[in-house]
Structure 1
Amino acid sequence: MSVENQRVISALVEGILGVEAARGALDALDVDPALMAERGPHVSRAAFAMAMNIALFHDLLERVPSGAAYVADRLARGGKVVFDHGALRTVRMPEGPTGELPPGEEAFTRILTPLGYHMAAVYPLDRLRMTGRAYRHADLPEAIPQFFLSELHVDRFDPQFAEAAARAFGTSRDPLTADAKAVLGKYADGDAVSLAEAAAALPVIVAAFDRQHQPVSIGDYELLLSRSHEAAWIATEGNAFNHATDRVADVAALAERLKADDWPMKDRLEISRTGRVRQTAFRADTVERLFAGNELRRVPGSFYEFISRDIDPETGRLDLAFDTGNATGIFAMTSARDEGSA
């Protein structure tokens, strides 16, 4: 098939995941037909953003067995996943960059903004000493997954915590190559990006959603954990998707069914102040991670989330907002204490 006739998203996802895994990911997700119909030789920012999200969703399922099992169950019941949003956590040091990475969320706004995302709202997470921000796609806001991008503010903790954070996160490398940055620059300037350029840049950009720092010491991990479960989570998992979220029609009914079937459900439904956004989640899967000194421990990994969104009567469109209370409750899914040596 010529480049001109290739379906862009399918080609990009196959290029990064391989044909079989790409087929599985595309079959699992309910992707907007207009996006799936786009053909080469160029790749729009919307198509690139969707392909990136599909790859990140696949990565989340590879790391979260409970999420993969749920998706398989949903498919077996004749359904598909509507990928609502992904969440990731960053660290903002008191000043300067985070190792070689730009500070805090800037490590990812440099990716999201050129691809058509804009900041939709700010959510103070004061109890967690963090700030969350929602990034929504300008072209197809209901069809392309949002990002809930949070920063942990090191300057809101004590000096001992700050020293441990500097040791833990100061080794971060910048995974973006000059070529990948050039492609993002083209998108930022509104220039055409060829399928070949997009296919080469996508794996590099997806690799940014991972841990970029060296394994931390047990001592620093335990110190971070004593002050912030979120900081400890970032110490082992980095900037990987903290969770991916399935948009469902009735999250309350789904939660009751999943609880009855002994899925690892959160105890309580989170309901926004408007009542229009309702969320719950599986508890984080436990993962084995290597620490400095080649010590293995089992720690909380990522998780799978569910959300229902109602129509906002003021706009007549789907309410795409988040809620500070909901977010704080959902973040607790990774708050389990370190489970000891493996």
Structure 2
Amino acid sequence: MTAIAPHISTFLRERLPIQHGASVHTCESYAHCFELLFGFASRRYGVTPSALELEQIDTRLMMGFLEHLQSVRGNSDRTRNARLAVIKSFMHFVEYRVPALLEQIREILAIPSKKTDQALVAHLSIPEIQSLLEAPDVTTRFGIRDRAMLHLCFAAGLRVSELIGLPLSAVTLQPTPTVHIQGKGRRHRSLPLWKQAADDVKAWIAVRGEPPVPELFVNQQKRAMTRAGFAYLLRKYAAKAEQACPSLRDKPVAPHILRHSCAMVIYQATGDLRKVALWLGHANMQTAEIYLQADPTEKLEAIESVVPPSLTRGHFNAPDRLIARLRDAGL
């Protein structure tokens, strides 16, 4: 039997960050996937995660894990495929280190990804965003923090990993309020903040204090805010905002929805997909085309610019009622 712990440790600490140059965000995303997998496997086999063996991570376990992601955790097909891709990457790494497991690894690599639909991008309207931003109680210290987190996530179109990992040093308040972001794929972008968002960030910095961590947003234990912590706050404030804006009840309010909402605002304001891609830190402009599909403005303009053909109106002579009934009866 082959212990899995040494291999996963080398993969996360050397293979990804050193050999592949993966960012901290990527390494954290991979680690989260393995945390889910090993938690599932430990419950399945009744052992601690550190006692798992590579031989136990077989096709049968993988299929059960993928089913668990969707049936229990409610993950989408895209998320399921992303988790599978992470595990396949690890298996490619292991096949050179443990040749005896080549057949088992080959079976896992053969697991297909699910085909996914290209659904319209879910996003919030400006009234819905406003109701969400007004939900925190800004007369309290953590209400000020929560308003700043929500507003900055929306205004800068941040991924949740970018938001919770943002250091205080990345925010510049003078002369122009600006936030500097290191995003996915080590791509850097520097974004100006509109006045209201800048005011909320300033208010939080004024009461933040000096916690022992560099991150801008910290929790009650003075540690960096976690992904789960922010998701919890967003759900709480979305439920509160529903009272003032009932349309939120039908919207899936999740961290990435704020990013999509920012993209739609930028696109509707500029009409330029290139600016949307630059603002969000996309690797190429094609990624931003999903917002073109979601915005009906372009389609309405296209309809208005079309000159329809002139058609001759016809006139239909209805048959006599008695004749029509006879025809229906087959007589």
The two structures have a TM-score, normalised by structure 2, of 0.27
Tell which structure's C-alpha radius of gyration is larger.
Answer: 2
The two structures have a TM-score, normalised by structure 1, of 0.26
Structure number with higher helix proportion: 2
Select the structure with the greater relative contact order (CA < 8 A; seq sep ≥ 6): 1
